[in-house]
Structure 1
Amino acid sequence: MAKGRDNWLLTPSAMGEVDAAAAASGIDSFGLMEKAGQAVTAAVLKLFPGGERFVVLCGPGNNGGDGYVAARALQESGAAVALYHLGDPSKLKGDAATARSRCPVPAEALETYFPMRGDVIVDAIFGAGLARSVPPVVVDIVRRVDEAGAPVVAVDLPSGIDGRTGTVMGAAFKARHTVTFMTRKPGHLLLPGRLHCGSVETVDIGIPFRLVEAKDVHLFVNGPQEWLAALPTTDATAHKFRRGHLTVFSGPATATGAARLAAAAGLRAGAGLVTVATPPDAIAANAAHLTAVMLKAVETGNDLDDYLRDERRTAFVLGPGFGVGPKARAFVTALAATGRHLVLDADGITAFAEDPQALFSAFADGAPRLVLTPHEGEFARLFPDLADDPALSKVDRARQAAARANAAVVYKGADSVIAAPDGRAVINENAPASLATAGSGDVLAGIVGGLLAQGMPAFEAAAAGVWLHGEAASKAGASLTAETLINHIDRWH
C-alpha cells in the first residue's frame, strides 16, 4: 500500500539532503524559505489573533532565516513585532543572510530579551538538526519564557530538541504548536521531544515529494498503511481453524491472570482458536475464568512435545506470568526448533538475560518468527550494549536489536518503536497515557499473538498489534483496566 505523506518520517540529515537535492534541481531555495516563514506567520496569527506582541527569536542558521521571513510577514500584517538574534547576524550566509537583509524589523541581542505580558514567542533559534547542547544564553531564555508562561510557536522543532533522537540538549522550549516542513522528524514523536512540541503542523513548502521518497529511510509513523495489506480478511468460507490457533502459556496457580488476559486479547484480535497451556496445579484457577478459551495441561517438555504434534498450533505467547528459569528457556527452544511463531514477553524475555545469544541463535534462520516486546528494563537485559549507548536513538536501538535477534522488536513505551530485521521501523503515536496500567502489556502480547496465528508476518503483526492496542485504549477511556481494554479491541478495516 502506498504510504501517506503524513506518515513519512525523515531524519534531519536526510531532510538536509532533500533540501540540497531541491536546490540542485533548480528550485529557488530562498523561495522555499519564504514559504516556510509565511507558513509560520499564518499559524501564529491563526492561533494567537489577540497577541499583543510577537517576539521572533532567530538563530545563526536557516532556521533563523525562516524566523526573519516570519518577522517581516508579521510586521506587514500590522502586528507589533520584536526581533532578537543569537550571535552575530552579519555572519549569516546564503538564504538566511538574504532573509535578514529583507527584514525591516530592528533586532537586538538574544540575551537582552525579557518576556512581557502579552508576548507570543516565535522560536526560530535552532531547527531539527541540533546535535549539541544549547549555549547558556539559550538556557537562560528558555527559563525566562517558562517562568513567564509565554506561549511558543516553534519553527521546525522546539529549540533544544535533537530531531534525530528527541533528546533535550540541555534545555528546550515547550511549544504550544510546532510548524515543520514536508515531513515530521523522529524528534517530533520520540520522548521527551514529543512533550515539547505541542500540536504539530506539517507544511508542504513545494519540494517535489519524489525527492523525499528518494531519501526513504524506511521510517514511518505507525498506522494501517504499514500493515493493512497483510491483515487477514474473512469471508463466507472462513471457519475457526482457518483463522489460526493461538496458544498462551500460563504460570503457576498463583500467577494465572496475565495469561488469561493475553488469551482473551488474542481471541478478540481474530484468532479462531485460543488455548491456555497450563501447569496442572493451575487448571482449576484458569478453568474458573475461561469460557471460549480452551485449556490444556502442559507441564513438562514431553507434554509440550506432544502438544506440538498438532501442526495447526502455529502461534504462541510465552512470558506473561510464566516465571523466570530453565523451563521458560526450554519451552522457547522447543518452539523455535519446530518452526513455530512466538511472542516473547515479560518473564520470557528476562529468562534469557544471562545468555541472550541462546535466544537469538534459536531463531536465527529464515524469515522472522519471533516478536520481542520489551520495555526499557527488559530491553537492557537482552541488549545491554545498545541500551547503554547514548549515541543511539530509540529507533537505532530497536533496529539493531531486531537485526541481532532476527525478530520483530516492539520497544515499548509511550513512543513505542517497532522494528524489523531488514531495517524497517515505525514509531507509534496513538497510545494514550491510560495504557500505563497493570496488564496492558499482557493484552498487547495477546493481540500480536492473535494476528500471528492468522498468518500475519512478524513485523506487520507487531506494528498492527501496537496500533490496535492504542485504538482500543482510546475507545475504552481514561479509566480503563486491562480487562475493559480487551472489550474494545477491534480489527481495523
Structure 2
Amino acid sequence: MSGAERDAVTVTSAVLRRWPLPPPGVGKEARGRTCVVGGSDRTPGAVLLAAEAALRSGAGKLQVATTASTAPALGVALPEALVLGLAQNADGGIDPACGAQGSELAELAAGAHAVCLGVGTIGEPAVVALLEALVPPLEQTVVLDALGLAPVTRDATFLHHLRGAAVLTPNLNELAIVLGADEEEVTRDTAGAARELARRSRCTVAAGGGESWIAAPDGRLWLDVSGGAGLGVSGSGDVLAGIVTGLCARGADPVQAAVWACHLHGRAGDRLASSVGRLGFLARELPAEVPRVLAEIEV
C-alpha cells in the first residue's frame, strides 16, 4: 500500500450521508443549468449518455451542443434538452471556430452553471483548438473527459484560472497520457497518479479503473470500490462525466460532486450487476439507476 492509499477515505453511503448534497430547488432553474459539448459523426451517442446522466443526477435544465449532422437525432432522443447544432470539420468533429468568443456556443456555455467538455469528440488538434478558445473566459465549473483532457496534457496550467472549479475524469490510460507516465506505473499506484494530476492541474481528479480514486487539489483522497468489472464498458466514462456535471450544476462543489458521482456511478453498476449480471450490462442502462441510488443514500 502506497502512502497515498493510506491517506484515503473509503467512500460509503454512511460517509456521503454525513456530507449531504445541497438541497434541491423547486424549479428547473433552481437546480442548475448544464451544458454538454461533444460528439462527432462517429461517436454521437457519448453526448446522449452524459446528458441523460446529468439530468438523472438532479440537474434542472439541460443544454447540449454537438455536430450539426447528429443534432436532430439527439434532439429527438433528448426531448428535455435544448440542442445546438455546430459546424463540422472535414473529419466529422466540431469545427474549432465554433468556440470563438461571441459565438452561440460560447454564450451557451457561459450561461450554464456547469459545462461538460470532451465526450465523444475526435481529432486532438481540433479539440484542443476548440477548448483553448472556449474555456479561458469561463468562470463556472468545467468537467473535462476523454479527448477534452488534451489541453491539460499540453499545459497543466490550462484550468488554473478556475481556482479549483474543475473536475477531470480520466480512465487509467488517459491518466497515464496526461501525466506523461507509463500506464503500468499508473495502474500500480493510481492513487498517487490521481493526486499528482490534481496537484499539477489544480483540479479535482476522478480516475477510474476497477476502483475509483478521487483526488482534490489540496491533497485529500478518496477510494470508491463499488461497481466492479461491469463498469469497464464503452460509454461508462461518459455517464460518470455527466453525473459529475449534473451534481455541480445543482450546487455541489467540484470535490463533493466527484466523490458522490463515483459512488452513484458504482452503485448503479452494482444494481445492474444484481439484475442483469456482473458483466454485460450497458452504459445506457446506468443513468436510470442513479435516482434510485440517490434515494437510497438520502433516506
Report the TM range for the smaller structure's normalisation. Answer: 0.7 to 0.9
Q: C-alpha deviations, 1:69-95, integer Å up to 9, x for none?
A: xxxxxxxxxxxxxxxxxxxxxxxxxxx
Q: Which residue in the other structure is 1:306 paired with?
A: 104
Amino acid at match of 2:123: V
Contact 2:172–2:187 at 8 Å: present in 1 too?
no
Question: Which residues of 2 match residues 406-417 of structure 1 at below 5 A?
Answer: 406-417=202-213
In structure 1, give the amino acid aligned to 2:42.
T
Change (3 A) 1:357 1:450: same
In structure 2, what residue type is equivalent to 1:289? A
The whole-number CA distance in structure 2 between the counterparts of 1:398 and 1:242 is: 33
Shift in CA distance, 366/335, structure 1 to aligned 2, threshold 3 Å: closer
> Whose Rg is larger?
1
Specify which of 115, 131, 153 is matched with residue 356 of structure 1. 153
Identical counterparts, % of pairs? 29
**Equivalent pair of 1:345/1:373 in contact (CA under 8 Å):** yes
Report the more deviating stretch, 222-231 or 472-481. Answer: 222-231
* 1:131-142 superposed matches below 5 A: none
Cα shift at 1:298: 3.5
Q: Which letter does structure 2 place at the counterpart of 1:321?
A: G
Q: Which has the higher helix share?
A: 2
Matched, 1:469 2:265: yes
Letter in 2 for 1:277: A
Partner residue in 2 for 1:55: none
Q: After the TM superposition, which residues 42-57 of structure 1 pair with which residues of structure 2 at under 5 Å, given as runs?
A: none
Partner of 1:445: 241
CA 1:372–1:304: 2 relative to 1, 3 Å: farther
- The residue type equivalent to 1:337 in the other structure is P
Any idea what the Cα deviations from partners look like across 1:94-144, whole Å, max 9, x if unmatched? xxxxxxxxxxxxxxxxxxxxxxxxxxxxxxxxxxxxxxxxxxxxxxxxxxx
**CA 405–255 in structure 1, closer or farther in 2 if over 3 Å, else same:** same
Match of 2:289 in 1: 488
Aligned counterparts of 1:295 and 1:228: Cα–Cα separation in 2: 37
Is 2:143 the partner of 1:343? yes
Superposed CA deviations along residues 413-441 of structure 1, whole A, max 9, x for unmatched, are 11211101100001111122221222111
Aligned residues: 276
- Report the 3-state secondary structure (helix = DSSP H, G, I; strand = E; otherwise coil) of the residue aligned with 2:116: strand
The answer to whether the 8 A contact 2:24-2:30 is kept is no
Offset, 1:294: 2.3
Contact preservation (8 Å) 1:264, 1:293: no
Matches within 5 A, 1:141-152: none
- 1:271 maps onto 2:69 in alignment: no
Q: Which amino acid aligns with 2:129?
A: A
Aligned pair 1:328/2:127, yes or no?
Answer: yes
Offset at residue 388 of structure 1 (A): 7.0
Q: Which letter maps to 1:487?
A: A
| CA deviation after TM superposition for structure 1 residue 403, in Å | 0.5
Helix, strand or coil: the match of 1:488?
Answer: helix
* 1:456 counterpart (252, 256, 271): 252
**For residues 36-82 of structure 1, what are the alpha-carbon distances to aligned partners after superposition, in whole Å with 9 as ceiling and x for unaligned?**
xxxxxxxxxxxxxxxxxxxxxxxxxxxxxxxxxxxxxxxxxxxxxxx
Relative contact order, higher structure (CA 8 A, sep 6+)? 2
Contact 2:175 2:193 (C-alpha < 8 Å) held by counterparts: no
2:39 corresponds to 1:257: no
Match of 1:409, SS state, is strand
Seen in structure 2, the aligned counterparts of structure 1 residues 290 and 391 have a Cα distance that, compared at 3 Å, is: closer
Residue of structure 1 equivalent to 2:10: 221
Q: Compute the TM-score of the two structures, normalised by the length of structure 1.
A: 0.52
Deviation sequence 1:152-193 (CA, Å, 0-9, x none): xxxxxxxxxxx338xxxxxxxxxxxxxxxxxxx94xxxxxxx
Gaps of 5+ in 2: 88-97
Q: TM-score, normalised by structure 2?
A: 0.83
Shift of the 391–410 alpha-carbon distance from structure 1 to 2, 3 Å rule, reads closer
In structure 2, relative to structure 1, the CA distance for the partners of 1:428 and 1:391 (3 Å cut) is: closer
Residues 230, 456 of structure 1: 8 Å contact kept: no
Q: Secondary structure at the match of 1:286?
A: helix
3-state SS of the aligned residue for 2:290? coil
The corresponding residue for 1:164 is: 2
| Counterparts in 2 of 1:417 and 1:481: CA distance versus 1, 3 Å | same
What's the counterpart of residue 195 of structure 2? Answer: 399
Name the amino acid aligned to 2:147.
D
Q: 1:393 corresponds to which letter in structure 2?
A: D
1:287 to 75, 84, 97: 75
SS in 1 for 2:70: helix
How many Å apart are 1:253 and its aligned residue? 3.1
> Contact 1:418–1:425 (CA<8 Å) still a contact in 2?
yes
Q: What is the identity, as a one-letter code, of the residue corresponding to 1:271?
A: A
CA drift at 1:244:
0.7
- SS of 1:339 mapped into structure 2: coil
CA–CA distance in structure 1, aligned partners of residues 121 and 84 of structure 2: 15
How do 1:76-225 and structure 2 match up within 5 A? 163-164=1-2, 186=5, 218-224=7-13, 225=15
- Tell me the amino acid that sits aligned with residue 253 of structure 1: D
Whether contact under 8 Å (1:227, 1:463) holds in the other structure is no
